[in-house]
Amino acid sequence: MCGFVGILGNEPAAPRLLMSLQAIQHRGQDAAGIGTVHEGRIHVRKGLGMIHAAVSSMKGLTGTAGIAHVRYPTAGKSSSAEDAQPFITRRPGILLAHNGNVTNVPEVKAQLREQGIVVLSECDAEPILLVLEQELTAIRQAGHTSEDLKQALAGVFARVRGAYSVVAVLELDGESTLIAFRDPHGIRPGVYGRLADGWIASSESVALDVLMVDKAGDIPAGACLVLRAGQDAQILEVSQPEPRPCVFERIYFARPDSIMEDGRINRTRWCMGRQLAREWAAKGLSADVVVAVPDSSRPAAMAMAEELELRHREGFIKNRYSGRTFIMPDQNTRELALRLKLNPIREIFEGQRVLLVDDSIVRGSTMGRIVKMVRKLGPKELHIAVFSPPVRNPCFYGIDMPSQDELIAARLSEDELAAHFGADSLTFLSRAGLAEVSGPKICAACFDGEYCVPVSADERAAIESNRRG
Ligand code: SF4
């Protein structure tokens, strides 16, 4: 998972890029970068860590068009400076960043190598950039038209498979153009809006909100959005769209105040919670109090409480300053690290029949520690409700998930998981219930194994080995 912002206007781009990028810092803390274009010259500052560490100064980031990026590695080594985005080419001048996973990277790299082009990083954005550069220069050296751009993108879509949402500034024929495109399934998110003096595109609408810009639309799947200052947005339809947006964005990754595709994430999580409440009640279970595991579970927990006519209480205080949980050497230190992050309030749990609501269970290690922590506070009963179906398959489309053998719900049933964690019951939202809320046209491959972009055994192996770094 990563996040991007692209801006093109008449005012300096860098300060606005920095503001907007901070709104999507949750999409990646591993590296960050900002690139701008001024009089045909591209300037980039990028580095490791959170935004203020990676881009400590904006000196030299001149120009009214640019791109900013936060990185969370799903391909490429973690903490590797050469994998930080944006990436650039000089002739033609292209500044590009992306969010997603290219599933056929080895094939794309082999094609490029045959033509004498070496990909230097392990980041998927670089092959996308080099293919775009090739496709653009194959058409002509100058005088590019919209039809040329469409043709170049058709070449990119034909050669690059997977899930990618891309933003780029093109320096063609002495003019800056902001473009944004998503793969034909539109798996990874992307939105755009109109500035007073130009355009902005980003992974999430909250990056527009900080500049007080309304979302104009989603970056269309299988198309290229062309944005120029002083002109209306142009949509070049390149490939037949078959939208399958990632439902995990709605469950966990996106900010609750973001608007994606069909609605605000907060509302979607609320509807998932309401649906889960019906399924939970149908099992004949009951509780006294509903407690969310903060933060993404809060709207679903509130909806469950409302639907079940139960009290909703904040049972955990989250430490906003605890930073990242690094790999801890032993069980005891891992438990302390969780306690540092999440401190439970004894009286909310003691003697109560508690319904604990979480967004998902992946490896199960965090849930195991939370249950252990809560059990020490003496609840009468402890029930777990998860507002997503069991994660049984890895993601090859840009979300950092472990391989299948590490996914606990791929091995254990609901009852077995409850026993494993030490809870009285565990209930997942059903796959049908998820469809009830989010409709049928979603990517839910990590739940149901239906991958809309086929991934061969070799490609799976390459992605998993790259993920391990
Ligand atoms: S497999 Fe899951 S996490 Fe990956 S894109 Fe699809 S829904 Fe999202």
Cβ neighbour number for residue 310 with a 10 Å cutoff: 18
* Residue whose CA lies nearest to ligand 1 atom number 2: 446
* Residue whose CA lies nearest to ligand 1 atom number 4: 395
| 207 and 83 within one domain | yes
Which of 210, 244, 278 is at the close of a domain?
244
| 293 and 194 within one domain | no
| 153 and 11 within one domain | yes
| 337 and 198 within one domain | no
Residue 359 sits in a domain whose CATH number is: 3.40.50.2020
**Number of folded domains in the chain?**
2
The mean pLDDT of 329-356, rounded to a whole number, is 86
Write the pLDDT tens digit of every residue in 82-138. Answer: 899 999 998 889 999 999 999 999 999 999 999 999 999 989 999 999 999 999 988
| 278 and 235 within one domain | no
pLDDT value, residue 82: 87
The mean pLDDT of 285-300, rounded to a whole number, is 96
Query: Bigger pLDDT: 405 or 417?
Result: 417
Cα–ligand 1 centroid distance for 451 (angstroms): 9
Q: Quick check: is 253 in a domain?
A: no
Taking 60 as the threshold, does the pLDDT of residue 78 lie above it?
A: no
Is residue 395 among the annotated active site residues? no
Taking 80 as the threshold, does the pLDDT of residue 332 lie above it?
A: no
| 221 and 275 within one domain | no
Q: Quick check: is 258 in a domain?
A: no
Cα–ligand 1 centroid distance for 247 (angstroms): 6
Cα–ligand 1 centroid distance for 68 (angstroms): 24
| 140 and 80 within one domain | yes
pLDDT value, residue 77: 53
Q: Quick check: is 201 in a domain?
A: yes
Atom of ligand 1 nearest to the CA of 163: 5
pLDDT value, residue 79: 63
The mean pLDDT of 144-163, rounded to a whole number, is 92
Cα–ligand 1 centroid distance for 399 (angstroms): 7
| 213 and 341 within one domain | no
Q: Quick check: is 469 in a domain?
A: no
pLDDT value, residue 72: 86
Taking 70 as the threshold, does the pLDDT of residue 207 lie above it?
A: yes
pLDDT value, residue 331: 65
Taking 80 as the threshold, does the pLDDT of residue 418 lie above it?
A: yes
| 272 and 214 within one domain | no
Q: Quick check: is 17 in a domain?
A: yes
Taking 60 as the threshold, does the pLDDT of residue 328 lie above it?
A: no
Angle at 284 between CA 280 and CA 285, to 5 degrees: 65
Q: Quick check: is 347 in a domain?
A: yes
Q: Predicted confidence band at 468 (pLDDT cuts at 50, 70, 90)?
A: low
| 195 and 340 within one domain | no
Residue 164 sits in a domain whose CATH number is: 3.60.20.10
| 275 and 229 within one domain | no
Q: Where does ligand 1 bind, in terms of residues with CB under 6 Å?
A: 187, 246-248, 395, 397, 399, 443-446
pLDDT value, residue 336: 78
Cα–ligand 1 centroid distance for 96 (angstroms): 23
Write the pLDDT tens digit of every residue in 278-287. Answer: 999 999 999 9
Q: Across all residues in the chain, what is the average pLDDT?
A: 93
Write the pLDDT tens digit of every residue in 249-268. Answer: 999 999 999 999 879 999 99
d(CA 405, CA 403) in angstroms, rounded, equals 6
The mean pLDDT of 352-378, rounded to a whole number, is 96
Atom of ligand 1 nearest to the CA of 401: 3
Write the pLDDT tens digit of every residue in 189-205. Answer: 999 999 999 999 999 99
* Residue whose CA lies nearest to ligand 1 atom number 8: 246
Q: Quick check: is 259 in a domain?
A: no
Write the pLDDT tens digit of every residue in 223-255. Answer: 999 999 889 999 999 999 999 999 999 999 999
Most ligand 1 atoms within 8 A of CB, residue of 185, 187, 260 to mutate:
187
pLDDT value, residue 304: 98
| 111 and 22 within one domain | yes
Cα–ligand 1 centroid distance for 160 (angstroms): 18
Write the pLDDT tens digit of every residue in 377-407. Answer: 999 999 999 999 999 999 999 988 888 899 9
Q: Quick check: is 465 in a domain?
A: no
* Residue whose CA lies nearest to ligand 1 atom number 5: 246
Catalytic residue, candidates 2, 224, 443, 446:
2
pTM of the model: 0.94
Taking 80 as the threshold, does the pLDDT of residue 462 lie above it?
A: yes
Most ligand 1 atoms within 8 A of CB, residue of 1, 182, 399 to mutate:
399
Percent of the chain residues topping a pLDDT of 70 = 95
Taking 70 as the threshold, does the pLDDT of residue 469 lie above it?
A: no
CA contacts within 13 A on the Cβ side of 295: 12
> Domain of 71?
3-244
